[in-house]
Structure formats: C-alpha cells, structure tokens
Amino acid sequence: MRKLILKLPEILKRKTVARSRLFKIETLDLLFSNGVERTYERLPAGSRQGVIVVAINDRDELLLTREYAAGFHEYQLSLPKGAIDGHETAVVAGARELAEEVGFGANNVEFVKTLTVAPGHMGYEISVVFATDLYPNELEGDEPEPIELIKWPLSELDSLIESDDFREGRAIAALAVCMSRIKNVKSRTSV
C-alpha cells in the first residue's frame, strides 16, 4: 500500500452563512493540492467542547441517563455528559456533570481520550472520562427537567450495547475506549 503525503487544502474564502445561539455555520471555498476546488459547509470548532462520563458504582453498575434528545424529539438512553466550562479541565467537568445529572461524585476520575464527532462537518470534540469510587453528591444542573438515572449491571453490558434503546454513537464509543478499565473493575470485584 502506498502512503500518501497529504497537504491541507488552501482556504480560498471563509464565510459565516448562519448563526444561532449555539451554532455557527461556515462555508469554506477550498483548493486541494490536485487543483480541485470545492465548497464545504461546516460547524467550526467553538469555544465550548464536551465531556462524557463512564461511571461505575461499587455494585458493578454503569450509571446511565435517560433524557430528552431534541434532535430526534424523543427520550434516549446515554451516559452523563455536558459542556466543559472555560475554566475547567475534562476531569473537573466530568465530575461536575456526574453530580448534576445523576447525583454522584467520584473519588477517582481519569481522562481517557478525546473523540471527534462528525469531523467532516463539525469541529466538535468530546472528552471521555472514567469515574469510580462513587458517593452521593447532588449539584443543581441546567436541565429543564430531572434526568432519569438508570443503573445497568456490568454483567449485562453486551445487551446494553445491542439494545435499541442505547444508540448514541458518543456513548457507545466512550464505552469502547473504556472497555479495558471496565474489565479491570469487573475482575477486581469478582475475586
């Protein structure tokens, strides 16, 4: 297989074509190294990125949320998540979101990986954090209604991933990148 040496396309023109409270849409007129010109539309990277939390309690249960998903106008099963505030690290934001969304703090919170979401069209990243050694800690969040907490046994993780109720790509990817940590938790508690 031949490895290509890629050169970023030249941006000929950048224009904001729409803006809302949350999003900005840009067009990019690009010139690729092979002479091809194209116009792309994108949601460029903003100042706020996100965090998603894989949290496991001392009963070997994964903490899930069921909350309103405006994009589909339905309730979806996912993991605790939210925006990273400007002054926060992903670890601090993950701990805060865990307390706001499901009412738990964690003595152990570690950064795992930053994922991109639809990078062909969006400049959005979400950081995955892994949380264990949980304790009750409720913080007031910014959601318009309470979020339902669902505790899912780690022994049934395969059925969760296969479930039609659990289909958010960010949450499935977060579980995948945390799988070795999840297996370590399961092996410690089964001894």
Same domain, 107 and 178: yes
User: How much is the mean pLDDT over the chain?
Assistant: 92
Q: Which two tokens stand for residue 111?
A: 């950064």
The model's pLDDT over 56-100, given as tens digits with 9 standing for 90+, comes to 999 999 999 999 998 899 999 999 999 999 899 999 999 999 999
Same domain, 54 and 107: yes
Same domain, 63 and 153: yes
Mean pLDDT along residues 35-48: 88
Residue 108 sits in a domain whose CATH number is 3.90.79.10
The percent of residues in the chain predicted with pLDDT above 90, rounded, is 77
Mean pLDDT along residues 42-52: 86
- Per the structure, the count of domains in the chain is 2
Q: Is the pLDDT of residue 47 over 80?
A: no
Q: Are strands 24-31 and 81-83 parallel, antiparallel or unpaired?
A: unpaired
Q: Is the pLDDT of residue 46 over 80?
A: no
Residue 131 lies in a domain: yes
Domain coverage including residue 57: 50-189
The model's pLDDT over 141-190, given as tens digits with 9 standing for 90+, comes to 888 898 999 999 999 999 999 999 999 999 999 999 999 999 988 666 65
Residue 60 lies in a domain: yes
**Residues whose CB falls within 8 Å of the CB of residue 127, separated by 6 or more in sequence, listed in order:** 49, 50, 51, 52, 84, 90, 93, 94, 111, 112, 113, 114, 115
Mean pLDDT along residues 32-53: 90
Residue 99 lies in a domain: yes
Residue 142 lies in a domain: yes
Whether pTM > 0.75 for this model: the answer is yes
Residue 4 lies in a domain: no
- Give the residue with greater pLDDT, 23 vs 84: 84
Same domain, 54 and 35: no
Q: Is the pLDDT of residue 41 over 70?
A: yes
Same domain, 38 and 62: no
The pLDDT, as a whole number, for residue 188 is 67
Task: Give all strands of the β-sheet with 24-31 in edge-to-edge order.
Answer: 10-19, 24-31, 37-42
**Residues whose CB falls within 8 Å of the CB of residue 95, separated by 6 or more in sequence, listed in order:** 105, 106, 109, 129, 131
Q: What is the 3-state secondary structure (H, E, C) of the chain?
A: CCCCCCCCCEEEEEEEEEECCCCEEEEEEEECCCCCEEEEEEECCCCCCEEEEEEECCCCEEEEEEEEECCCCEEEEECCEEECCCCCCHHHHHHHHHHHHHCEEEEEEEEEEEEEECCCCECEEEEEEEEEEEEECCCCCCCCCCCEEEEEEHHHHHHHHHCCCCCCHHHHHHHHHCHHHHHHHHHHHCC
Same domain, 20 and 98: no
Mean pLDDT along residues 127-147: 94
Same domain, 34 and 65: no
Q: Is the pLDDT of residue 191 over 60?
A: no
